[in-house]
Amino acid sequence: MSDGYGTIAAVGSAFPDHYYEQDELLTAFRRVWAPKMFNLARLERLHRNVLVGGRHLALPLEEYERLESWGQANDAWIEVAQEVGGRAVLDALERAGLGVEEPDALFFVTVTGVATPSIDARLINRLGLSPSLKRIPIFGLGCLAGAAGLARAADYVKAYPDQVAVLLSVELCSLTLQQQDFSVANLISSGLFGDGAAAVVVAGAERGFAGPRIKATRSIFYPDSERVMGWDISEKGFQVVLSPDVPVVVRQFLRRDVDAFLGDLGLELGDIGSWVAHPGGPKVLQEMQAALELTNGELDVTWRSLEEVGNLSSTSVLLVLQETLAEHRPEPGSLGMLLALGPGFCSELVLLEW
């Protein structure tokens, strides 16, 4: 293998101040939807099945009923995204021992709101980042974007090994909720997705940072799978597309793709000692465990993240990475895999050396 794509120097995170237990959120949904929805038992069953214990929300719970348009929801997204995104970047830079003027590039990923200038531009003013900072905003990759953004930041520092890139993910999923949509997909989403931000400092090889090294990456696109996951976008905003086929895709393709990626590097599945996976949901994680023959708690951190904060789309895999770094760091020199799946439908694989 090559010398790699750089080093993960630090991971930071930030959440909105408003955290609610799942039972409290379910009570609120029952109250709002009871006059319009004939099957509240289905709502409760779907919320219980996602195994989420609580979530952070961008706004206080009572303010969501006052959002009457996508414009209002997106305005809230712009405001809160700057606040939590800025805190996540500062947290990551502080952990890496860097000042706000030192990053050379900022990759920004999201799928829950839109802004022009984008959030990364607004953070230059808010945080005092360098005015020569190269900005790369990426929209539309969904849950995939935490892993894909990390891979693209790694590509950048491989090309510029004397530089530092920051990846910022902000997802405020609660602001996309469609209050008039009683489809199974929307009901599941209303119980599964949460809000927050994470940032990763990726340093080029010449900068001399300690941390896990990114050794190789791979992107896989599955043709003709656009309706597996995504948004239908209209004057009402973002309406979720969430097919029951997501676990099927994992079952059919993930092991094949992981084996092919590792085989091209002269490795095999048994060489991977740790896994940092996106918490897509219980059925997805069960299929992932089966496909990759993970039987010894390899995804415990991922399961715990799902329970504690829900699925935060692109942010989640970075939160799992952060906890793995802080509390469950693998043996130095061992190999690990970071992976996520998302709209396209796609998967992204990142090989790490700890």
Tell me the catalytic residues.
143
Q: How far apart are the first and last CA of the chain?
A: 15
Joined together, the tokens standing for residue 164 give 């530092």
How remote is the C-alpha of 257 from its chain's centroid? 20
- Which amino acid appears at position 312 of this protein? L
Instruction: Give the 3-state DSSP-derived string for the chain, with helices as H, strands as E and coil as C.
Output: CCCCCCEEEEEEEECCCEEEEHHHHHHHHHHHHCCCCCCHHHHHHHHHHCCCCEEEECCCHHHHHHCCCHHHHHHHHHHHHHHHHHHHHHHHHHHHCCCCCCCCEEEEEECCCCCCCCHHHHHHHHHCCCCCCEEEEEECCHHHHHHHHHHHHHHHHHHCCCCEEEEEEEEEHHHHCCCCCCCHHHHHHHHHECEEEEEEEEECHHHCCCCCEEEEEEEEECCCCCCCEEEEEECCEEEEEECCCHHHHHHHHHHHHHHHHHHHCCCCHHHEEEEEECCCCHHHHHHHHHHCCCCCCCCHHHHHHHHHHCECCHHHHHHHHHHHHHHCCCCCCCEEEEEEEECCCEEEEEEEEC
Q: Which residues contact residue 263 at a Cβ distance below 8 angstroms, ignoring those fewer than 6 apart? A: none
Strands 237-242 and 105-110: unpaired
